[in-house]
Amino acid sequence: MNKFWSETVQRTEPYVPGEQLDDPTIIKLNTNENPYPPSPKVTDAISRELDHKLNLYPSPTTDQLRNEIATYHNLSKDHVFVGNGSDEVLAFSFMAFFEPGKPIRFPAISYSFYPVYAKLFNIPYEEIILNRDFTLPVEDFFQSEGGVIFPNPNAPTSVYLELSGVIDILENNPNQIVIIDEAYIDFATESAASLIHTYENLLIVQTMSKSRSLAGLRVGFAMGNPNLIEALIRIKDSFNSYTLDRLAIAGAEAAIKDTDYFTDTIEKVIHTREWVTAEMKQRGFHVLPSQTNFIFACHYNWIAEDLYTNLKKDGILVRHFKKPSIDNYLRVTIGTDENMEDFFKKLDKIMNTTKSRN
Ligand SMILES: *Cc1c(COP(=O)(O)O)cnc(C)c1O
């Protein structure tokens, strides 16, 4: 604390991202990055952009990228907003749609950036306790005073809520915004994007960080009724005219257009996820049904934090949350088959040489 700090700075509790270690020998299964590189067309597009024009500002309206995203989702440009990672899009959405004095709701086990934004923007919030099986208690989100936000599939649980549940929440919040953070939707059954024309209170946020292998480029986007998109644009233009640089715009356009590469990558990750889930269950882990590129698993005879620590010593980084009710779970990002074989080798060694709780 410092006497020069504003009220705002004093009440912030910044988000702590997963560890990013420099050691290239470490297998990183802790921040849900895609193990596959982006489409070669992305790197080509970035190189072409790099060859010239960096002396010029990028497009302040990002029309072309918004058009490409809209086309992919059967929408028009006016339904799409883009930002510097979906984290920025989420922050702008908190500013645009949530208000001090009106409590918003999100799941108690969820993306830990939500309470950070809420504190930053002085928005009160209610954390909704999940059902025992980590599914969303849909009715507890009805008639919220200030709005609703939740990831679908949820993180870090990996559990997906069917569209019928999403519709129930939308219909029971007719005068409040419902933000659905679809960071992992490309690994799941179905996006709520088709509901945008029906529900003017729906805002969907997606990212290119996970399914499109572009965590390093920082591109996220929102989709919703043009009135909502206009609100986001007003916030952005009151803050920074150019949130996306030329390289990010060029790379993101190429990524969204290369549907073959995208479909291929998704299939590979899902295939590995199903194999990893079966292998974990064989070792006695309880694994939540995942519709993401990670699994959330616990073993009744092993302390998750010990497994995390021992795996880290062996060069495998997974994520452990010191949070009551999930502190015996590990979140493991799906890597390549080779990554996961290595993971199981180390895990088996640990389980064979250390003591379980019984
Ligand atoms: C990864 C993630 C994000 C952030 O993605 P970026 O686009 O990289 O900022 C947002 N929400 C959830 C639930 C995530 O897991």
The number of domains in the chain is 2
Whether residue 333 has its Cβ less than 6 Å from ligand 1: no
Domain that holds residue 29: 7-36+260-353
Position 102 scores a pLDDT of 97
The span from the CA of 246 to the CA of 6, in Å, is 33
Residues 216 and 304 in one domain: no
| pTM of the entire predicted model | 0.96
Last residue of a domain, one of 258, 286, 313: 258
Give the pLDDT confidence score for residue 16 in this predicted structure: 84
Q: What is the pLDDT of residues 121-153, one digit of tens each?
A: 999 999 999 999 999 999 999 999 999 999 999
Å from CA of 222 to ligand 1 middle: 12
The structure tokens 């949130």 sit at 243
Ligand 1 lined by 207 (C-beta under 6 Å) = yes
Q: Is 209 in the pocket of ligand 1 (CB under 6 A)?
A: yes
Pocket test for ligand 1, best of 204, 209, 212 (most atoms within 8 A of CB): 209
Q: How far is the CA of 355 from the centre of ligand 1 (A)?
A: 36
What count of other Cβ atoms lies within 10 Å of the Cβ of residue 79? 22
Does residue 34 have its Cβ closer than 6 Å to ligand 1? no
Question: CA-to-CA distance for 324 and 344, rounded, in angstroms?
Answer: 26
pLDDT tens digits for range 257-267: 999 999 999 99
Give CA separation, 71 vs 41, 62, 74, 89, 187, in Å.
18, 14, 5, 20, 20
Q: What are phi and psi of 294, to 5 degrees?
A: -150, 165
Atom of ligand 1 nearest to the CA of 220: 7
Q: How far apart, in whole angstroms, are the C-alpha atoms of residue 81 and residue 232?
A: 7
Pocket of ligand 1, candidates 210, 294, 334: which has the most ligand atoms within 8 Å of its Cβ, to mutate?
A: 210
Q: How close is the Cα of 88 to the center of ligand 1, in Å?
A: 9
- Cβ(351)–Cβ(302) below 8 Å: yes
With contact defined as beta carbons under 8 Å apart, do 28 and 316 qualify?
no
Residue minimizing CA distance to atom 15 of ligand 1: 183
3-state secondary structure of 265: helix
Nearest CA to ligand 1 atom 2: 183
Task: Retrieve residue 341's tokens.
Answer: 């074989």
Residue at 30 is within a domain: yes
Atom of ligand 1 nearest to the CA of 210: 1
Q: What is the CATH number of the domain that holds 29?
A: 3.90.1150.10
pLDDT value, residue 358: 63
Question: To which residue do tokens 């209610």 refer?
Answer: 126
Q: Is the CB of 158 under 6 A from ligand 1?
A: no
Any ligand 1 atom below 6 A from CB of 211 = no
**Does residue 155 have its Cβ closer than 6 Å to ligand 1?**
yes
Interval 345-355: pLDDT, tens: 999 999 998 77
Q: Which two structure tokens, joined as six digits, stand for 266?
A: 């998704």
- Distance (angstroms) between ligand 1 centre and the Cα of 279 equals 27
CA distances, 99 to each of 63, 102, 103, 229, 251 (Å): 29, 6, 8, 17, 35
> Are 149 and 291 members of one domain?
no
Share of the chain above pLDDT 70, in %: 100
**Residue 302 belongs to a domain:** yes
Q: In whole angstroms, what is the distance from residue 259 CA to residue 212 CA?
A: 10
Please answer whether residues 172 and 142 qualify as being in contact, where contact means their C-beta atoms are separated by less than 8 angstroms.
yes
Residue 16, CA distances (Å) to 111, 207, 227, 312 in order: 11, 19, 33, 18
Token pair listed for 236:
């952005």
Per residue in 160-191, is it b (16+ CB within 10 Å) or e — as a string? Answer: bbebebbbbbbebbeebbbbbbbbbbbbbeeb
Q: In which residue are the tokens 């849900």 written?
A: 32
Inside any domain, residue 358: no
DSSP-assigned beta bridge partners for residue 223: 80, 204
- What are the residue ranges of helices labelled H in the chain? 7-11, 40-50, 63-72, 85-97, 113-120, 163-171, 226-236, 246-257, 259-282, 304-313, 337-353
Domain identity same for 254 and 265: no
Kindly give the number of the ligand 1 atom that is closest to the alpha carbon of 151: 13
Of 224, 258, 292, the position where a domain reaches its end is 258
Q: How many whole angstroms from its chain centre is CA 175?
A: 26
Average pLDDT, the chain: 96
Same-domain status, 130 and 216: yes
Q: Tell me: do 323 and 197 sit in the same domain.
A: no
- Over 90: is that where the pLDDT of 51 sits? no
Do 176 and 220 sit in the same domain of this protein? yes
The answer to whether residue 312 is domain-embedded is yes
Q: Which residues, 6+ apart, have CB-to-CB distance to 245 below 8 Å?
A: 58
220 lines ligand 1 (CB under 6 A): yes
Residues 6+ apart with CB under 8 A from 311: 317, 318, 343, 346, 347, 350
Q: Whose CA is nearest to atom 12 of ligand 1?
A: 183
CA 20 / ligand 1 centre spacing (Å): 15
Average pLDDT over residues 262-288: 98
Ligand 1 atom closest to the CA of 90, numbered from 1:
10
- Write the pLDDT tens digit of every residue in 89-106: 999 999 999 999 999 999
CATH number of the CATH domain containing 187: 3.40.640.10
180 in the same domain as 321: no
Q: Which residue, of 258, 278, 301, is where some domain finishes?
A: 258
**In this structure, what DSSP letter does residue 278 have?**
H
